[in-house]
């Protein structure tokens, strides 16, 4: 696949893939006769995995550590990240509840 096809398929920008390359996370597997960068299925899956890790909140630096780590290291990192996300979810839930209370208070004041 060309860089353009990878970007369209995985919904990532060209700059994103270039950033992954700069960080040493992925490399093009060749070039076609027109000079376009090519990526094989392994690179495609790797880019998808990097994107997923970023969606979980891992930084590029953290991803460089875990992407090729043994399963036990990856599992521990994922468990920590899930716990962090659960904490953030709880905090967001509390903020939403406080905002809803404020909305209710404002609605009552407006109606009086």
Going by C-beta distance under 8 Å and a sequence separation of 6 or more, which residues neighbour residue 74? Answer: 66
Q: Where are the beta strands (DSSP E) in the chain?
A: 30-31, 37-38
**Which residues partner with 30 through β-bridges?**
38
Confidence grade of residue 95 (pLDDT, cut at 50, 70, 90)? very high
- The CA R_g of the chain, rounded to the nearest whole Å, is 21
Q: Is the pLDDT of residue 104 over 80?
A: yes
For position 108, what pLDDT does the model report? 86
* Percent above pLDDT 70 for the chain: 99
- The model carries a pTM of 0.84
Task: Render pLDDT for 25-76 as a digit per residue (tens, 0 to 9).
Answer: 999 999 999 999 999 999 999 999 999 999 999 999 999 999 999 999 999 9
């Amino acid at each position: 696949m060309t860089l353009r096809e990878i970007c369209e398929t995985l919904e990532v920008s060209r700059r994103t893939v270039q950033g992954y390359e700069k960080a040493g996370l992925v490399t093009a597997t060749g070039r076609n006769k027109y000079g376009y960068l090519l990526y094989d299925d392994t690179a495609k899956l790797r880019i998808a995995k990097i994107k997923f890790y970023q969606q979980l909140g891992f930084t590029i630096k953290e991803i460089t550590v875990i992407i090729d780590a043994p399963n036990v290291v990856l599992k521990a990192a994922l468990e920590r990240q899930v716990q962090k996300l659960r904490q953030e979810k709880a905090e967001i839930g509390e903020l939403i509840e406080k905002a809803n209370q404020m909305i209710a208070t404002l609605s009552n004041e407006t109606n009086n």
